[in-house]
Every structure is written in structure tokens, then in C-alpha cells.
Structure 1
Amino acid sequence: MFNGLSVTEHREGDDLLTAGLGLGGLQSMAPPAFADATAPTAPELRRRAIWSNWRGIADLSPGGGYGSVYGSVANVPGREFSALARLEGARYPHRVLVQVPDAFDHDRRCVVVAPASGSRGVHGAIAVAGAWGLPRGCAVAYTDKGAGTDYFDLDAGQGVSLDGRTAAATAAELAFAPDAPTGSAGVRGVAVKHAHSGDNPEADWGRHVRQAAQFALQALDEAVPQAAPFTFDNTRVIAVGISNGGGAVLRAAELEGDWLDAVVAGEPSIHAGATSLYDYATQAALLMPCALLDASLGPLPQPPHAAQSVPQWTARCASLAAAGLVEGADTATRAASALAQLRATGWTDAALRAGALSVGFDLWRAVSVTYASAYGRYGVGAHPCGFGFAALDPRMAPRAATPAERAAWWSDGSGIPPGAGVGIVDPLMAGPDAIPTDPTFPGLVCLRDLAKGNGGDALRVRAGIEELRAAPPREGLPVVVVHGRDDGLIPLALSSAPYVAMARQAGRDVRFWQVGPAQHFDAFLALPDYGARYVPLLPYVHAALDRVEAYLDGTGTLPANAVIEATPRANGQALEAANLALPR
């Protein structure tokens, strides 16, 4: 079940929670440097991966409140246990990592299990679970849930080994080495595990969480032999995650057996209603740029900035009209038509305004490209719309990656290109149907057809989506769902709300905190306009964990359902506890 076990110690300037960086080091705009950019050491890669995952999840900006109003960056010495774990039936393993603090509380025997958010690597929940569990003396177990940043360079024939360093496919056991032969005609660039494993990992995210918890018990047997054996019967296990990690812990909640004691899911991507992530993401990718031009939405957050966005979004309205996807003879009426379609799906205006960020960062296309490949279980070079991934030259054409670029993929990547020097290759941008003023449009139409069409590829992708449909949590399991009402990436109305309704209809007591105004990305609250519009969601996830812990200890009750009316900090002001209006 677990291969390549590695145990490392982290003390004296290299702790579990921040790799010795502390809050100041995490706040640094520059990543921790490599002594040799082409051959970083395993400790250098770990430190940089921790830095990038903290900064990708939490608002660490001065005045943002982290470390003063909520959260912890305590110095936590201890040991890490790492392995590659394989589920029965899976082609490729997922990474598991367990952090055992030296101050592990033998009397309370607590494990916090945390799947990464998004498609991130194995450290992708450290700001969520590590920051809460490690200072309390709990062990924390992480999994990349079959996605992660184990990219494979098809040109060089190199992937990522257990410790994060690049290695040839023939030289070491890699976390991901795709079947496509290196140098095959038409197969080059970068293979991405989430997209190209052929496993549809999202269908198994609940099982990934349980296997990470099993690995934690095994690690504790080795780390604390005087208190062994550690079992699900004598060790408390709490699962927590946000975004995709939130969806993963809800899928874990439905698994049989009395192995899990409580679940806290923040802003979960979960399929429990009529609309799946792929459905609303491909719709948003096409329509949202045009819809955001409708004046009824009011001022949008910045970025994106109007000077760069309006011409592109106007071109999208024209493309949609030419394809018969919106009505109207001018931009204003076309924008109104696009907006009406999104509202009919369930998008609120608040979520649409926050969704402008995903439009500006081309995130809808990134999600759609990767997930179409994953859901259809397509391998390298087999994407039904022709998409791939590669390092790109200034003309956006594929090129070979440099050794320095390749060396940093594992530590710097988010698991879903573009990013960390890996871009999306879209052959339709330069093909016969290319549109000079809106070059991504043909590819997006193809991706949307996989959600709504009747061809073989569309049926294949939708069959993969059906594997994701959630079931109610195990009866009697405490579950708390926390979601921002303004979430513009995973809209509450299309994810948490139908999940909670489904669970309650099945007789489950799921508690639900709806936080407003909160959107999806705490890290972007460092941008002045976002910090003045929204509050962070992470403090509510930590508060829900506090309440769940008190309930399990017998010293408190589960949190009541709540619609929380928070107040963002004024522009230029620091966040204070009063802004959050945390339920008591």
C-alpha cells in the first residue's frame, strides 16, 4: 500500500509548519533561493514548496490579520513521514505525508487529515490543517489526492522522485511517469498528473483521504512506539479541507466504517446537484467575459483592470453572437444575454463579480482543459480538443523546458497549468477556425461541447463526471460546511447548498456556515480592492474546527447553522476580530 517510505527530522531552524521561514519568511515576495537552480536539494525544494503553498492559500499581508487575529505560524519541531500510496485499481500513486510534532499529545491521540486544495502538491493544505493541528500536538496527514505537481518532462524523459528532485524515468521510482514513450511523434511537452494519469482521481478523493489517515496511524506506530498501536478505535481523526480538498473530505465522510470522527469542509467543490463543476466552468469560460460588461453588476474588483479587459470581453461578446450563443446586435444587449444565462444557472451577482478574478487569470480555461482530460481518462496527446501542456516561447509555441525550469516545477507549481513555466498548448488558436481578436474561443467551444454534446468524447467525459456524484455522510458523523456567499469560483448555490440539502433530505445533521462577504481566494485579499471588499474564509474554517474539537471533547456543542454578516477591513486598515463576526 505504501512505497518508498522516507523519514526526515525538522528542528533547529527547519520546523514542520514553516520550514524555518516564520511569518516574515512566508511574507517575502521572493521564494527561498536554490544554491544551484538546476539541481536544488531536497530540503531546498521542501522549504520552497511550503512557502509557495502558504502564499497560495492564506492572506499573509501586513494588516491581513494572519498570526494576530487568527492562525498560527508557531515553531513546531518534529518528523515527517513520506511515501507513495496506491489505491487498489489505480494506475498511479498519490503522495502522502505525515507530520508528527515532537510535542505530539500522547493522551489525546489526534490526527488531522487534510487533502490538498485545488490540484496542489502534498503540502497544499498546510495553511489549513497544519496551522491548526500541529500547535495543538496533533499529527497532520496530507495527500495530493492523485493530482499534485509531479509533472513529467516528455522531451527530457524526467519526472519527480519522492523527495521532489527530478530524476530519469529509468533511474528511480517516480510519482508519475506516463505511458507515452519519450520522443514519440507528436508527443512532447509536459505531462500533468491530474490531467494525464488515466485514473480520474477525483472519483477516488474520499479513498485518498482515508488512505492518508491509515498512513498516519502507521507513522505514529513508528514515531511513538511506546504508545502503539494507533488505530481508528483509539485515535481521533478529523478531516478538513478547502476547495477541492473540501470536496474530498465530504466524499470521505460517506465511506463506510467508524474511522472518521468529524469533518470540516471549506468552500467545497462537490457534485450533489444538477450542475457539475465542469458544466458551470465551461459555461463561465465562454459567457462570463461578456456578461461582466453588463452595467447592472456595478464596479468589479480590480484586477482585472478595465483598460486591458474591456476590449477582450467585447470581442468575446462578438464571438458569442456570431456563434448564436447570445442574442443582440450590440455589446450591451449581448452582455445582458450572457448575464441572463449565467443567472439562470444559479450564479448570483455577487459571485459573478468575484468571478472576474478567474476570468482575468484565465482560470476557467485552465480548469476546463485539465478536468476534461481527467474525467475522460485521456492520456498524453489524446485530449479530445487537442490541448496539451509545455514550456512556451514568446510566440506561445511549445519549446523544451530548461533544467532550471524543470527543477522548480514540483515546488512552484499549482498542479494545473498555466503556471511555474508550464503553459497550455491550444492548437485551435492557430487553426482554420482561429479568431484573431478572441483566440481562445474555438477551444472553449470544443470544451463546452464535451459538457453538453452527444458525441463519443462528450459521453466519455460525462461518464467520468457521474463518478463524482456525492452521497450523504455516514449517519451520526459531525459535518460542518463553511462557504463564502460571494465565492466566484465554486459558487455556493451550485456546490455547498445542494450538498447540504441532499444530506439533510437523507436525515443527516450537517451544519452550514454561509459567510458574507467572502470569496474563494484568501491569498488575493492582499490586493487592496479585494481586502476592502471581502473577509478571509480561513478563520471560519479554523473556528469550525475549534467547535468540532470542543464537541468531541464533550465541552461544547456543534455550531449552529449561521448566515454570517462580516465586515471587510477599511482600505488601508488592519483586520480586527470584530470584522469577522465569528459565531459564538
Structure 2
Amino acid sequence: MDAFATPRVTVHRDGDDLLTAGLGLAGLHGATPAFADPAQPTPSELRRRAIWSSWRGIADLTPAGGYGTLYGSTATVPGREFSTLARLPGASQPHRVTVQVPDGFDTQRRCILVAPSSGSRGVYGAISVAGAWGLPRGCAVAYTDKGAGSDYFDLDAGQGIALDGTVQPAGSAPLAFEPAQRTGSGIAFKHAHSGDNPEKDWGRHVKQAAEFALQALDEAFPQQAPFRFDNTRVIAVSISNGGGAVLRAAELDGDWLDAVVAGEPNINAPDAPPLYDVATEAALLMPCALGHLGVPLPPTAGPKCGELAETGLVTGGNDAERARDAYDRLRARGWTDEALRAGSLSVAFDLWRSVAATYASAYGRFEPNAHPCGFRFATVDAAGAPRAATDVERAAWWADAAGIPPGAGVMMLPPSGAPLDSLRCLRGLWTDTGAAADHVRAGIRETRAALPRAGIPITIVHGTDDGLIPVAFTSAPYVDFARKAGREITYWRVGHAQHFDAFLQLPPVGAGYVPLLPYVYAALDRTWAHLYEGAPMPVDATIATRTRGSDATLTAEHLAIPVR
């Protein structure tokens, strides 16, 4: 397969493994794995820390949260990894693909789980979703960063990230991301600056990862070869952006995909506003609107109601009236009170701004340091001024970064002027005229979902309280769109589930919400029974959960997982 660079094969046994890199549940919940030489970590050290970071960024691993006891697995799974830089026809940048093949691969029930990363995370970004379920069962798991990931490029030093996670100078080794234009200063990263608008190809990334998995299985088990789509089951599963990617994979022609499980999917459904529209409006109005609901926010969170009134974005003679007006505007768009309350997490962590700035660059295909609203990315000094990155900082990017700054020492530098002006600029790339806005809107149009292929069992699991990718703008209109065309989809709406299971580690969040991962695993269980045992697919469910509140630990009674 010419699309794949020479694979790197590594063995993981005897104190190392595929699922937790030898850390186990206690190690995943423990301190950050250290590097013997922080400036030059080894590939195995980088892998262990990348797996640790990926688990920590997705799952609630605290004892009270029930992971590993009530649901989920961190079993020791020895095996091999096959890694490559895969490239789609016409793409300027590769996407990472890593296939984990357990020694206990079930050759009688050949199974591949394909798992595109959640959010913009690196290649292990869905390990707690797919690996935790599939590897102990004897399935191979194929991960892809779907054209995003943690492969940052230092424009000042001219260095990027190689296949093994180490930092290398441009030209000395194939890099997972090297921007076409390397002028200027600061940091470039693949999701924003690849020039490929990778979201339009999410489904193709998933299929290409499945193709590489077949190749890896041929190499791993030559006596059982050939592995083909007609003799190996393929299940695509992930959450968030990865959930959107597996739904996009279901659109592709051919009998290569056997089932899909999509958790909280970011899917650009017809007749629904795209995430960029939702996010840029929320960045402006939500901090004010939450005042109407009495939701406390940090003093620095978002524009104030008075600022919005001065620019005509809300009306009212005082802050209470302005907050009510902002609230009414969001409610009219489709926001529920539950989603708004959970959206306060995105406001508190300034996620709306970082998501909008990154996606604007991706959709508009803007080069590094050419963002139309003036956003840049760099390491900074104590005063917040940009500076050159150190060897130690660069060395940890691949393992530590979540794919969108700020994080791993890389910050998003705000444009000059008032913060409200930069948010209005981001909003204008959706609502205004001009070449930059035209480019962004054109990129968004390229990401519009089409119908899934008929006959694929699809299950969508989404929290009713999701405040980052609300069901009203994603899963609900997608399910309606697909069902009107005769597609059969199982749709589970999970009460008291918001977008970030990892945030449940914060006691106030854990007390008020339930995790989504148990329902994704349950959907995989039902899908497996359907594919291999002929059981019917599960029925739709609106799941009435019970929050933990002051209870010491999460129990099965809190979750109320459907029996069918």
C-alpha cells in the first residue's frame, strides 16, 4: 500500500503492555511518568507518557468514579504495535496510524476496532474508548489522529516530531507535520496549519486506518493471512470529534465497515448549525447568559454583559435584563438549560475561544502567523511575551499536548486590542463578508455530513447535558436526517451526562454528572452481540440516571444502563 510509510513495529510485553504501557490503573491515576533525560526522552518513555496523557484526558480514573471496578478495563494486554504515517491522495500532510495487535488476538472471530482520536488529540486519543473495550476481548485496535494530533512544529528552531515521537530537524527524517511555509516565529500545529482542512476527510482517515490494520494483521499472523474486509469484522468507534469521524466513515462506499458506535459526535448535520457557528455565538453570549441562571464563573471568564450591550449584541437597561436577553437568544437557537449549565465549563476554561481560533485556521487553510483575527501560538515568558521554546519543552510536546493550545507549554497569544474584539472577529468569519470569511465558510461546507450507507448498524450515544457539542445541533438533527432516508439508527440519550468524563475528577463536577464511557462500552457490547451472535440491535432509550451527589462512589444504580 503506497499510502503508508515504512511501518515501525514495537513489542510490548514484560512490564510493558498495549493498554496502559505497564502503568496499570494505579499508574494511570498517579503522577506524570518521568523522563530520565528531559531533553532527550526515549521513544518508549514518550509512548508511556502519551498513553498516560491520553487516558487522563478522557476518563475519570478516580476511585469514586468507578473506572476499572464498575465499568471499563485496564487489563494487562501484551502484544505488538504497528505505526505509520499514512497519507490520503491529495493531502499535503500525513495522519498518524497506530495498530495495536494483542498476542491474544482472536483468530476465530477476527475483529478490528478503528478509533479516530477524540478532539484534536494525538494518535492514542481514543485508547480509553476503543482499546479498553477491544484489546481485552482479543480485537486489534487501529488508531488515527485523523489529521490533527500533537505533532507541533517549532518555526524558530525548524524542528518537528518524527514517527517515534522524538524531535527532529526538518529534512533529517520524515515528520508527522511540517508546514508548507516555515517562515515567522512561534509554533504551528497540524489541525490548524496543515492546509488540508482535515475534518472534510475524517471518514477517509478512518477507512485508511482500517486498511493499515489489515496489513498489520497479515504481518502479525502470516499463517492466518490474508486478512480482508470480507473475512474480518470492522467496528468504528470513538467520541466527540472521533464520534463525528466514525459517522463520516459510514458514508463511504463498499462493504468494508460492519458497525459504528459514535459517542457525543461532533457531526455537521444538514439543516443544523455547524459547530463553528455555535461556538462563536456561545463565546460571546454564554458568559452573560449564565448570569440569568445564577451559574458562578471566574471573574475573568468571557465578555461581561455591559460590554455586549455597548456593542449592541444584547439589550437591556441593567445586567439582569442583559443576561436574560443573552439567555433568550441562546435558548431560541436550541440551547437547553442543562446544556448551558454544562457549557459553563467551556466558559471557565476559555475553550470557546481556543476552539474557534483553531477551527478558523483549519477551515480557512490559513498559514501559521496568518490568522485573520491575529491569533498566534508560542511558548511565553513569565510576563506572557513570546519566547523561543527550550529543548525540554519541545521534547514533551508529542506526549503531553492535547492537540489544541493552550497546553504542554504552548499558549495561544491573543491579538492586540480588547478580548471582545477578537471574539467578534471570530464570529465575523461566519457572519460577515470578505475573503477570509468566504474561505472559512467554504471549509465548513466541505465538512457537511451525508447519509450513512444503508444496512450498517449505527448506535449514537449522547449526553443530554452536553455543553460543548449539544445534542440539539448534532446528534438529534443527524438522527432525524438519517431516519427520514430510511436508515436504522439506535439513539441513546443519557441524562446528566456532559461532554468531559475527565472533568468528573473535579469533585463538584463528579457530584453533578455521570460518565458517558459506560454507555459507549454498553453500546459496543450490544453491537458485538448483534454481529457475532445474531442478537437484535438495542432500541432507543432516554436514560434517567441518578447523580452521585454526596455519595462516596458511583454505583450501577446511578447509571441505569439499558438492558437492551
- TM tier relative to shorter chain: over 0.9
Cα distance in 1 between the residues matched to 2:407 and 2:316: 36
Q: For residue 491 of structure 2, what is the aligned residue in structure 1?
A: 512
- Structure 1 residue corresponding to 2:207, chosen from 186, 207, 210: 210
Q: Partner of 1:568: helix, strand, or coil? A: coil
Deviation at 1:579, TM superposition (A): 1.1
Deviation at 1:427, TM superposition (A): 2.1
Deviation at 1:554, TM superposition (A): 2.8
- Structure 2 residue corresponding to 1:233, chosen from 230, 235, 240: 230
Deviation at 1:446, TM superposition (A): 0.4
- Structure 2 residue corresponding to 1:533, chosen from 512, 525, 546: 512
Matches within 5 A, 1:492-571: 492-571=471-550
Q: Name the amino acid aligned to 2:355.
A: V
Structure 1: runs of 5+ lacking an equivalent = 429-433
Q: For residue 8 of structure 2, what is the aligned residue in structure 1?
A: 6
Cα distance in 2 between the residues matched to 1:463 and 1:24: 47
Q: Deviations over 1:490-549 (max 9, x none)?
A: 001110000000000111001100000100000111111111111100000000000000
Q: Name the amino acid aligned to 2:319.
A: T
- Structure 2 residue corresponding to 1:283, chosen from 259, 263, 281: 281
Q: Partner of 1:99: helix, strand, or coil? A: strand
Q: Is the 8 A contact 1:450 1:462 kept in 2?
A: yes
Deviation at 1:402, TM superposition (A): 1.1
Q: Is the 8 A contact 1:79 1:99 kept in 2?
A: yes
Cα distance in 1 between the residues matched to 2:422 and 2:549: 41
- Structure 2 residue corresponding to 1:318, chosen from 299, 302, 306: 306
Q: Name the amino acid aligned to 2:188.
A: A
Matches within 5 A, 1:435-450: 435=418, 440-450=419-429
Cα distance in 1 between the residues matched to 2:409 and 2:29: 22
Q: For residue 257 of structure 2, what is the aligned residue in structure 1?
A: 260
Matches within 5 A, 1:16-415: 16-28=18-30, 30-181=31-182, 184=183, 187-272=184-269, 273-294=271-292, 297-298=293-294, 300=295, 306=297, 308-309=298-299, 312=301, 316-415=304-403
Matched, 1:575 2:563: no
Cα distance in 1 between the residues matched to 2:350 and 2:19: 31
Q: Name the amino acid aligned to 2:448.
A: R
Deviation at 1:572, TM superposition (A): 4.5
Deviation at 1:274, TM superposition (A): 2.6
Cα distance in 2 between the residues matched to 1:515 and 1:386: 39
TM-score, scaled relative to structure 1: 0.95
Q: Is the 8 A contact 1:4 1:162 kept in 2?
A: no
Matches within 5 A, 1:468-479: 468-479=447-458
Q: Name the amino acid aligned to 1:277.
A: L
Q: Deviations over 1:440-474 (max 9, x none)?
A: 21111100000111211111100100111111111
Q: Is the 8 A contact 1:528 1:571 kept in 2?
A: no
Cα distance in 2 between the residues matched to 1:176 and 1:460: 22
Cα distance in 1 between the residues matched to 2:435 and 2:513: 43
Cα distance in 1 between the residues matched to 2:230 and 2:532: 15
Cα distance in 2 between the residues matched to 1:539 and 1:222: 33
Deviation at 1:555, TM superposition (A): 4.1
Sequence identity, in percent? 66
Q: Partner of 1:567: helix, strand, or coil? A: coil
Structure 2: runs of 5+ lacking an equivalent = none
Deviation at 1:382, TM superposition (A): 1.7
Cα distance in 2 between the residues matched to 1:220 and 1:334: 60
TM-score, scaled relative to structure 2: 0.98
Q: Deviations over 1:324-347 (max 9, x none)?
A: 111012211111111111111111
Q: Name the amino acid aligned to 1:212.
A: A
Q: Is the 8 A contact 2:301 2:350 kept in 1?
A: no
Q: Partner of 2:147: helix, strand, or coil? A: coil
Q: Is the 8 A contact 2:261 2:520 kept in 1?
A: yes
Q: Is the 8 A contact 1:316 1:441 kept in 2?
A: no
Q: Is the 8 A contact 2:94 2:147 kept in 1?
A: yes
Q: Deviations over 1:125-144 (max 9, x none)?
A: 00000000000000000000
Q: Which moved more, 1:150-159 or 1:568-577?
A: 568-577
Deviation at 1:312, TM superposition (A): 4.8
Q: For residue 431 of structure 2, what is the aligned residue in structure 1?
A: 452
4+ residue segments displaced more than 2 Å: none
Q: Is the 8 A contact 2:197 2:362 kept in 1?
A: yes
Cα distance in 2 between the residues matched to 1:257 and 1:179: 34
Cα distance in 1 between the residues matched to 2:14 and 2:142: 22
Q: Is the 8 A contact 2:301 2:347 kept in 1?
A: no
